[in-house]
Amino acid sequence: MTDAVLTQAPARSGFRIRSRAVRRFLKHRPAVVALCVLVFFALVAIFAPFIAPYDPIKSDFLAVRQGMSAAHWMGTDELGRDILSRLIYGTRTSLMAGVVPVTLALLISIPLGLLSGYVGGYLDSVLMRFTDALLAIPFLVLAIALTALLGPGLFNAMLAIGIAAIPIFLRLARGSALAVSKEDYIEAARAGGNSPLRIAFKHVLPNMIPPLFVQATLTVATAIIVEASLSFLGLGQRPPAPSWGSMLNEAQRFLPTQPTMALWPGLAIFIVVMSINIVGDGVRDAMDPRHKS
């Protein structure tokens, strides 16, 4: 059996499985609606400078803490800044804080997980004990401790969230690599005389991605909440740059007089996180129909 035949067979069937999964996902109506909501927020983030009616960091002391009006649809904050504009720019921070740490965690976890699961042995034992230990430290506690170490700021917060997410993906990637490496087609590839490196990257790696993709979707939601939490505590995005978490922190002081200041950023986090969770459920159901949520 040639290597070309070996690579083409799973690839073609993999394509068929993927297109079937896409069809199943499109039948999951709530997930499709949620995906549209996320696309809307992504467009808001990309085109923020064109959509936002005001400069999000420019103070206007003649318009301090105003209610909702035609000029300021969501009112203004304690420095007279337009809340809608800050919310629009805050979408950038939140979506970035969701995607960047998860990408970072995946980039580190996938090769390490592949190595750990496919090679096994002493390296696997040490890595898994290390992962167990990291998983024992709750996500937010680890993120706070790392931010304490790195110093406050959005970049450091994202780095801390990414590092805190590594054990989740590492364990999953290793499990997937282990399961895939026991499949018949891997055995066949080995018998065909392919090098271990080629088998790992050409055959094991593409097949261990689906479960990681589901977990990545759900972890983006967690990362957004953790970033908002860190910013709420003053450890994330630095003022005056807008972030939904820091907007909530500022709003807390004016709760009795201007409750809407706290309403909008929280609602935005809630809608985005809920949409991601619904999409995550949809993706999981589409990829593994036996596990229907």
Binding site for other proteins (CB under 8 A): 129-130, 132-134, 136-142, 144-149, 221, 225, 228-229, 232-235, 248, 251-252, 255-256, 259, 262-263, 265-266, 269-270, 273-274, 277-278, 293
Query: Which of residues 54 and 232 has its CB atom nearest to other proteins in the complex?
Result: 232
For residue 285, the minimal CB distance to other proteins (Å) is 13
Query: Which of residues 176 and 229 has its CB atom nearest to other proteins in the complex?
Result: 229
For residue 293, the minimal CB distance to other proteins (Å) is 8
Looking at the DSSP bridge assignments, the partners of residue 76 are: 82
For residue 268, the minimal CB distance to other proteins (Å) is 10
Task: Report the distance separating Cα 94 and Cα 97, nearest Å.
Answer: 5
CB 165 within 8 A of CB 98: no
Question: 19 in helix, strand or coil?
Answer: helix
Query: Which of residues 69 and 125 has its CB atom nearest to other proteins in the complex?
Result: 125
Query: Which of residues 1 and 148 has its CB atom nearest to other proteins in the complex?
Result: 148
Please provide the size of the chain in residues. Answer: 293
Phi and psi at residue 29, to the nearest 5°: -55, -50
For residue 57, the minimal CB distance to other proteins (Å) is 23
For residue 129, the minimal CB distance to other proteins (Å) is 5
Most distant pair of Cα atoms in the chain: their distance: 78
Say which DSSP state 75 is in: -
What tokens were used for 96? Answer: 């970035």
Query: Which of residues 91 and 207 has its CB atom nearest to other proteins in the complex?
Result: 91
| Cα angle for residues 274, 44, 238 (degrees, 5° grid) | 85
Which segments of the chain are extended strands (E)? none
Query: Which of residues 54 and 139 has its CB atom nearest to other proteins in the complex?
Result: 139
CA 3 to chain centre: 36
CB 97 within 8 A of CB 227: yes
For residue 50, the minimal CB distance to other proteins (Å) is 28
- CA contacts within 13 A on the Cβ side of 291: 11
